[in-house]
């Protein structure tokens, strides 16, 4: 319950940066991570880990020597994620600085990026900056997974985000729906 109240507080502090009233469900975390062959992933990033639900699943599935960094802008959510996943490099910063953050770690590119960012709620300018930053470390063939809420599919912002994905990725697929997530959500599985 504490995790939910901390997440709700973060939402009220900055709804456009948090984008949800509850943390991701375990089912959604599995839909985010099941798409990858973790034995083949050497470098992975997570954008917006929130309370660390997906982070924890990534940590349990990745190889021991896989580079893994999560970038969380909200200081309180970053602290919660660090407590939940003490072995993970959780960096408090903005994903627009991802190339610089990776460079500090000696990493020039990653094969996989998972994102909990509320992309559809971002203004187009911020979406473009985040995508540009992401593409500075995600080469062609790299894979990107992010989730969206079912009810947002018909809203203008949700349609605009889907169009943006189609314009920037060679392949965009949709996972089954995590009905027990609050609210129900699905995963965009994208290949650059």
Instruction: Provide the domain limits for residue 109.
Output: 2-191
The whole-angstrom separation of Cα 45 and Cα 138 is 10
pLDDT at position 68 over 70: yes
Tell me the pLDDT tens digit for each residue of 85-118. Answer: 999 999 999 999 999 999 999 999 999 999 999 9
Q: What pTM does this model have? A: 0.87
Query: Can you give the pLDDT at residue 154?
Result: 86
Give the Cβ contact number of residue 133 at 10 Å. Answer: 19
Residue range 166-173: mean pLDDT, rounded: 97
Which residues, including other chains, have CB under 8 Å from residue 149's CB and lie 6 or more apart? 20, 158, 183, 184, 185
CATH of the domain at 84: 3.40.50.150
Total of domains in the chain: 1
- What 3-state class would DSSP assign to 46? strand
Residue 18, pLDDT score: 42
Q: What is the pLDDT of residues 10-56, one digit of tens each?
A: 444 444 444 444 677 899 999 999 999 999 999 999 999 999 999 99
What pLDDT does residue 17 have? Answer: 43
| φ, ψ dihedrals at 36, nearest 5° | -105, 145
- The rounded distance, in Å, linking the Cα atoms of 83 and 50 is 12
The predicted pLDDT at position 12 comes to 43
pLDDT digits (tens, 9 = 90+) for 145-160: 999 999 888 899 999 9
């Amino acid at each position: 319950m504490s995790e939910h109240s901390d997440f709700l507080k973060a939402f009220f502090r900055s709804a456009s940066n948090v984008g949800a009233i509850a943390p991701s469900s375990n089912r959604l975390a599995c839909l985010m991570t099941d798409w990858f062959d973790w034995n083949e992933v050497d470098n992975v990033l997570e954008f917006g880990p929130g309370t660390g639900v997906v982070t924890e699943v990534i940590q349990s599935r990745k190889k021991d020597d896989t580079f893994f960094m999560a970038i969380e802008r909200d200081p309180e959510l970053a602290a919660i994620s660090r407590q939940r996943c003490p072995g993970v490099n959780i960096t408090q910063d903005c994903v627009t600085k991802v190339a610089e953050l990776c460079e500090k770690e000696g990493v020039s590119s990653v094969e996989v990026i998972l994102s909990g960012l509320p992309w559809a709620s971002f203004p187009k300018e911020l979406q473009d900056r985040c995508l540009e930053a992401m593409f500075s470390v995600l080469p062609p063939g790299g894979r990107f997974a992010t989730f969206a809420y079912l009810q947002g599919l018909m809203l203008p912002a949700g349609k605009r985000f889907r169009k943006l994905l189609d314009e920037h990725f060679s392949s965009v697929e949709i996972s089954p729906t995590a009905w027990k997530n609050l609210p129900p959500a699905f995963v965009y599985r994208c290949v650059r």
